Amino acid sequence: MSKIWTRNNQQIKEECLSMTPIISIILTSYNKPNTIGKAIESVLDQTYQNWELFIMDDNSNEETVKIIKQYINKPRIYYFNSNIQDSERYKTTRYATLINEAIPKTRGKYLTYLTDDNSFLPSRFKSMLKVLNQNPSIEIVYSQQLVKTINEYGIVEQEKVRKTYGVLKNPVGWVDHCSIMHTRYLAERIFNEFGSYWNDDQAYWYNGDAAFWSRLTKYKPFHPIPEILDIAIKDDKSFQRLYTHLPKCIPNGTLVRGPSSETYIIENQVRRKISKEVFTKLKYDPSMVVKIPDPFLYKYKEGTPVDSQVFINFLLFPNQRLVKAHNNPAVYYLQNKYKHLIKNEKTFSDFNFSWDKIISTHEHLLAQLPDGLPIEELSESTPILPDGTLFKHENYYISLKNCLHPIEKQVAMKLKLPVTNPVKMDHSLLSKFKTGEPFEWEILF
């Protein structure tokens, strides 16, 4: 990459050495009203006080902003709101974008990062500065972290210590976002070489810190401070937890929910909000709802809601449902706006359909949908596979539009597909159908 940035390393070094305050903290925030106050307080409570704090809020809800506002008139605290639109949220790794916006505003000789679900111990700055100031050749320090996992009721379920492992040339996977401090000089060198500080490509949502660590270690290793200096809280809304094993593209027919209480169905790659009363009428099961992070929910445009209208206009009825008319035993499976007759009881059990999921409705409503090919017993001559069914032949596959898409077991589990009870198929059936794009979970690094 060409170095088009104008200041040379010597000039940057001189600027950096003359800087006050000494430590700039970049706190990224998004909708964590229960912990953001503690994060801010943990900076105020430091035994070393020559710092400045940049609160970079990513357009949080009112509850969160209200808490932040209690602190923004204090000296050395600066507050910025990104005003990001939800529909734009998934496009970059947001915390990396916020950090990149913050760094040019900061003045500290050292930079350190805090997230809204973490808090520093009071001695953190003092301990880190001691090592950095006494050893000019050390430009990055990292410390131990206490990780508290809490359940949905706020009770601590597990406590673990992320240890230090000596001097690290490859800290990826070992060191958290909130456990390091480094010189501004290194950040500026990175900017000179890469044209940005943190890599905010959306591919790094899961581990943007690791992407930055690999830039940092091109210049200097990470030096350990074997003391716990920060506490991380992982709850059921934690991005890491919600994102783990989520494929890039969510299969049609999946029920999803962001951290708010609304439930959606993904259909034709748009999200349709399902009203509470219709959720029950459509025989959806709350245990089938996949919790996903906000930025990933908003990636899907909002489509026509699934509300009481679907019982008036059947063309709005969601796919992948079993329906029958009152007083008529014929059962249909809906897919792609067609109704497919399920041939017989054997077919029904071959595909693991369940009787208690059949929705009974008026004959005239059902008549609004055209007939598709019937779904027949599972054999080599089966003309059509029901969408959203989990199959297994050595590996797992999910059927969509008569294609079998390979799906990793953990991805299938994440999507609440019945991995312990898939439809078993043999090689000849597998080879009869086209194989589609796989559903995979991919992390870089």
Kindly state the helix (H) or strand (E) to which residue 435 belongs, with its residue range. Answer: strand 434-435
137: Cβ–Cβ under 8 A, 6 or more apart, which residues? Answer: none
Task: Report the side by side order of strands in the sheet with 423-424.
Answer: 423-424, 390-393, 395-400, 403-407, 434-435
58 binds, among Mg ion, ligand UDP, none (CB under 5 to 8 A by kind): ligand UDP
Q: Does 28 bind ligand UDP (CB under 6 A)?
A: yes
Query: Which one, 171 or 318, has the nearer CB to ligand UDP?
Result: 171
Q: Does 61 bind ligand UDP (CB under 6 A)?
A: no
Amino acid of residue 314 = F
Rounded to whole angstroms, the Cα distance separating 87 from 299 reads 6
By CB under 6 A, the residues from 217 to 256 that bind ligand UDP are 238-240
Query: Which one, 115 or 145, has the nearer CB to Mg ion?
Result: 115
Q: Does 52 bind ligand UDP (CB under 6 A)?
A: no
Per-residue string for binding with ligand UDP, 277-296, x by CB under 6 A? -----------------xx-
Both structure tokens of 5:
């940035």
User: CB 42 → ligand UDP: shortest distance, Å?
Assistant: 14
User: CB 145 → Mg ion: shortest distance, Å?
Assistant: 11
Both structure tokens of 236:
């059921």
**Which residue in 58, 139, 350, 387 binds ligand UDP (CB under 6 A)?**
58
**Which residue in 23, 30, 150, 425 binds ligand UDP (CB under 6 A)?**
30
Query: Which one, 232 or 385, has the nearer CB to Mg ion?
Result: 232
Query: Which one, 178 or 384, has the nearer CB to Mg ion?
Result: 178
Q: Does 188 bind ligand UDP (CB under 6 A)?
A: no
Three-state DSSP at 155 gives coil
DSSP state letters, 244-296: TT--SSPPTT-EEE-SSS-EEEEETTEEEEE-HHHHHHTT--GGGPEE--HHH
Q: Is the peptide bond before 171 cis (omega within 30 degrees of 0)?
A: no
Q: Which residues bind Mg ion (CB under 5 A)?
A: 115, 117
Number of residues that bind ligand UDP (CB under 6 A): 16
Query: Which one, 100 or 207, has the nearer CB to Mg ion?
Result: 207
Residues in the chain: 445
Query: Which one, 93 or 347, has the nearer CB to ligand UDP?
Result: 93
Task: Report the side by side order of strands in the sheet with 270-274.
Answer: 270-274, 263-267, 255-257, 290-291
User: CB 41 → ligand UDP: shortest distance, Å?
Assistant: 16
179 binds, among ligand UDP, Mg ion, none (CB under 5 to 8 A by kind): none
User: CB 141 → ligand UDP: shortest distance, Å?
Assistant: 21
230 binds, among ligand UDP, Mg ion, none (CB under 5 to 8 A by kind): none
Instruction: Round the CA-based radius of gyration of the chain to a whole number and report it.
Output: 27
By CB under 6 A, the residues from 62 to 121 that bind ligand UDP are 89, 94-95, 98, 115-117
Query: Which one, 200 or 350, has the nearer CB to ligand UDP?
Result: 200
Cα distances (angstroms) measured from residue 40 to each of 67, 74, 86, 98, 230: 10, 11, 25, 17, 13
User: CB 193 → ligand UDP: shortest distance, Å?
Assistant: 25
Please identify every residue annotated as catalytic: 209
79: Cβ–Cβ under 8 A, 6 or more apart, which residues? Answer: 55, 57, 68, 69, 72
Evaluated on CA atoms 7, 9, 15, 20, the torsion sign reads: positive
Q: Does 258 bind ligand UDP (CB under 6 A)?
A: no
Q: Does 299 bind ligand UDP (CB under 6 A)?
A: no
DSSP state letters, 204-232: GSS-HHHHHHHHHTTT-PBEEEEEEEEEE
198 binds, among Mg ion, ligand UDP, none (CB under 5 to 8 A by kind): none
Residue 298 Cα to chain centre, angstroms: 11
User: CB 24 → ligand UDP: shortest distance, Å?
Assistant: 16
Q: At what angle do helices 184-194 and 9-17 cross, to 10 degrees?
A: 150
Positions that interact with ligand UDP (CB under 6 A) = 28-30, 58, 89, 94-95, 98, 115-117, 238-240, 294-295
